[in-house]
Chains A and B, each alone.
Chain A
């Protein structure tokens, strides 16, 4: 059982979250060339070790978060809101 520390709700069981996908992907502009979209949608590394992932606290505050997780040990290195504005607001305690 992975436990994820939601930036808003605190430590919660992974059953409250749903997995999003590769958090390192920078999705291209909507009118970017087909090769850029192809790479962003279909090409994935199969990482053994630390991996950046997106998750959503779907049964909680519904925040999308970026999680650094070790695929070998399930160790979670860091959790942060995906939305930079939310991250800044939580940081400043507002």
Chain B
């Protein structure tokens, strides 16, 4: 192993050693190291295995573009796969493992794939497996899925933990005048320029230190410190460890701040990461540029990396990455690196693909002009490099050099990704051999190397100019470029006719041959090339390989790069943890929770709760030792025998008031409301425009111009929005005001033969609920014994003599205490949603399970609710011929043929001889009926129950159990004449 830590130099703190584990081995690094630099300093070379061929891979870069050192950090629930070791800050006790290898990255059984490499070319999965006979016959989808699972296991990245994420994440919103992305010389200068004149500036930097490329240049340290100090003084909000992963409409930026990923023992109150939504008046993109590799044989071997990475490890991390170094370049940028490595004691050969340049050769460096790397040799690490020379007829082999490190510079790609998110088309600059951001209509300004400016001083000037433009001030920045000698674009080196393993996208194992194969097979668009070869689809999103891939495609097509174009970059720039997206919206906070005013009262009285939309509602009230089944059957039976009370506060309640309120309701409901008398309630159904049932409920006329509409619990929000839409957009002439009063009232249903007696005992005037004073569907405004204002309607969902009683929410508990005293004295019970369901199923009353949005008023058996005398919303389209067909599924009751059997809600109703297909209907609800003494259900069946009299159907539910023979009956299974509720 030839990389070693230098005794001095670099930005690491040698007084702060940090111990960490790599694949179980205890190693040491220093504060200021990344995991990659610490591993390199410890002589670890093979850090990963490649995606398809399981080739050994080492460190290839020193930044986000890393494609080799991709590892898993942490263990158990905190195991984070696919971490770029080059971006992971080292901390005391860090544990990291290699991935995509068995048993480990040094000896990997999967490497056998490499021997069959020629079979694993582009499109391999589709050609090989989808062409197999079973798939051809149209039966093979299952088989394909099995192959796919195997392929995914063999080819892949790290495995995510199966445990729940133990960390928490925060969401933060922020505003600023200018958002600056990247804290290199351009970004720092831009932030300073804007902040100095009083602008509110956020400066986001993905690194844990500010400075960008200044960090790799010890001589720039005084300038760097001065800039940072000035930026702080000017009031810039500086956010290190923060990646701007996407830009969106209206200056919105998505950012992830890594708060605790670098801490050995984070304080318990800290989130792991913060997800920032920043709304910026203007944005300066100073995100730098990434160095490209060149496609040549073995360009992925451990010990081959970008020239800039070699410089970063030397100058920033105090690691001499090799002793015998070959620097292969086609541009000026690598010269300085070569010189610095030589000064640090390495033996350096500089191979410049250009024949002659006017540049000075740094001292101690041996220049070999006109040579390019043809093949890197050495199985688990580069040992020598074979060169080639360009001739008229192509490349020719031209000698070799022994080396333990091969640094490559194929040119630079400005980071235009974020501009591309905003639809800015990258434009090819042939002189600089890179894409630059094109015109942008938004306040989005490129600066520094991201704008193709290579010189440090010019970068600062461009940062200043970009900041001025961001503030609306005219300013001309420096032109792109800045090298002494022009770049000689170089994308691939190979002898004609040879097919080397020359990687274009090392992270997805896409080679130059794959690109040519895709072309041969007719994929000429870059978008198709990308999808067929998966070039640029790995976790680095083609940061290193895209340009090389496009260049090879252009060559194959005989076109120039601009004619081929580039794929559009999409967010995120680097991967974002799902946990960060979820933030605190997990577990109980996943959705809002609504509690009724009687919630605590219910719990004190033994309720088991269940979800109904966002609401928690009592499900059942079990007595000692009772199961849910025993409890709800007892509750339902008690209601039919004596009485029961049930919290119905969650029903939607809308005050509909105004001179035109009656006319409004008359248009909204299918049945007439214009002539509803004051002091009366009416059951109503409302349809959507297309004629399907939307919601149902009772509406009470409290005064000429004052109605109280009730809706289903889950339909309340939807109905309110709908009524507001009608009044504001369609019928502005109607003088009606709507107020949601769902939360203002506590409501209870009192049902059963003794309900009148219990209710009367709670009222100041017991006669208010006498049969004469309050007939069926009557509404009364009265008081409880303690003087509490109360609204009572005699309405019934259970089919019994029943009332709904409402008092102001704050009086709910007092009301329940009085009512429960009377109820228990009379032998009544509390009942929950399950018993409520039983009672309504017995009666054939519909609810959300039946009114699922596909059902007309006729289907639901409520045709008599549709007025023929007046128009209403949905009437016209409800009368479409298809919706009138007699064989449409219609509401029906369902009994098991063998009354001792049960069946499942959701089951399909099929003819006994019907093995497949859609069936004749379906089951919406099932319950055990104490009134009938067996299981019953509601559902829909083609043509309605009359069509099936005397015939058997199967309730078929193959996933949960075998079919059950059922017969279809009228949905009104109990007291069809309604004598009980009118009594």
- Seen from chain A, the residues whose Cβ lies within 8 Å of a Cβ on chain B are 1-3, 18, 20, 27, 29-34, 37-38, 40-42, 54, 56, 58, 62-64, 73-74, 81-86
Contacts and interface: CB of A to CB of B under 8 A. Distances in A.
Interface string B176-199: 000000000000000000000000
B250 interface: yes
B249 A37 contact: no
B872 A84 contact: no
26 contacts: A1-B249, A1-B277, A3-B250, A3-B279, A18-B721, A20-B725, A20-B729, A30-B872, A30-B876, A31-B875, A31-B876, A33-B876, A34-B879, A37-B876, A38-B877, A40-B689, A41-B689, A42-B690, A56-B721, A56-B725, A58-B721, A63-B728, A73-B441, A83-B727, A83-B732, A84-B732
B811 interface: no
B690 A41 contact: yes
A52 B762 CA distance: 56
Nearest to A41: B689
Given A1-B252, A32-B876, A74-B250, 9 more contacts: A3-B279, A30-B875, A31-B876, A34-B879, A40-B689, A56-B725, A63-B728, A73-B441, A84-B732
B248 interface: yes
- Please list the 8 inter-chain residue pairs (A to B) with the smallest Cβ-Cβ separation, ordered nearest first: A30-B871, A64-B728, A1-B252, A31-B871, A37-B876, A82-B729, A83-B728, A3-B250
Contacts of B951: none
Contacts of A85: 732
B171 to A, nearest CB: 12
B873 interface: yes
B356 interface: no
Nearest to B253: A1
Interface in B714-761: 721, 724-725, 727-730, 732
Given A1-B252, A3-B250, A34 B876 contact: yes
Nearest to B875: A30
B880 interface: yes
A86 B728 CA distance: 9
Interface string B688-705: 011000000000000000
Contacts of A33: 876
Contacts of B880: 34
B14 interface: no
Interface residues of B, number: 27
A41 B724 contact: no
Nearest to A66: B729
B724 A62 contact: yes
Given A34-B880, A84-B732, A85-B732, A64 B875 contact: no
A41 B248 CA distance: 32
Contact of A2 (B249, B423, B724, B879): B249
B663 to A, nearest CB: 12
B729 A83 contact: yes
Interface string B271-294: 000000101000000000000000
B252 A41 contact: no
Of A3, A31, A37, most B-chain CB atoms within 10 Å: A37
B667 interface: yes
Contact of B729 (A1, A34, A40, A54): A54
A34 B884 CA distance: 14
Nearest to B879: A34
Interface in B231-284: 248-250, 252, 277, 279
A20 B252 CA distance: 24
Contacts of B872: 30
Interface string B876-894: 1101100000000000000
Contacts of A18: 721
A1 B441 CA distance: 17
Nearest to B277: A1
Nearest to B423: A73
A29 B248 CA distance: 41
Contacts, number: 67
Of B690, B724, B728, B872, most A-chain CB atoms within 10 Å: B728
B16 to A, nearest CB: 42
A3 B277 CA distance: 13
A64 B248 CA distance: 25
Nearest to B725: A64
A37 B877 contact: yes
Nearest to B250: A3
Nearest to A38: B877
Nearest to B877: A37
Contact of A56 (B423, B667, B724, B879): B724
A38 to B, nearest CB: 7
A27 to B, nearest CB: 5
A64 B722 CA distance: 11
A82 B689 contact: no
Contacts of B689: 27, 37, 40-41
A74 B334 CA distance: 44
Contact of B873 (A1, A30, A81, A83): A30
Of B248, B249, B252, B667, most A-chain CB atoms within 10 Å: B249
Contacts of A54: 725, 729
A6 B725 CA distance: 16
A10 B575 CA distance: 35
Nearest to A58: B721
A86 to B, nearest CB: 7
Contacts of A42: 690
A20 B690 CA distance: 16
Contacts of B250: 1-3, 74
Contacts of B876: 30-34, 37
Contacts of A31: 871, 875-876
Nearest to A85: B732
Contacts of A63: 728
Given A1-B252, A41-B689, A83-B729, A64 B724 contact: yes
Contacts of B728: 63-64, 81-83, 86
A64 B729 contact: yes
A25 B422 CA distance: 31
Nearest to A86: B728
A86 B737 CA distance: 13
Contacts of A29: 871
Contacts of B730: 27
Nearest to A30: B871
A60 B873 CA distance: 27
B138 to A, nearest CB: 33
A61 B728 CA distance: 13
Of B277, B725, B730, B876, most A-chain CB atoms within 10 Å: B876
A3 B873 CA distance: 33
Nearest to A1: B252
Nearest to B173: A13
B276 to A, nearest CB: 13
Contacts of B277: 1
Interface in B184-233: none
Interface in B26-52: none
A73 B879 CA distance: 41
B529 to A, nearest CB: 26
Contacts of A74: 249-250
Contacts of A81: 728
Interface string B392-430: 000000000000000000000000000000010000000
Nearest to B667: A30
Interface in B933-978: none
Contacts of A56: 721, 724-725
A44 B508 CA distance: 43
Contacts of B441: 73
Nearest to A33: B876
Contacts of A41: 689-690, 877
Nearest to B688: A41
A50 to B, nearest CB: 16
Contacts of A58: 721
Nearest to B733: A85
A32 B871 CA distance: 9
A73 B250 CA distance: 10
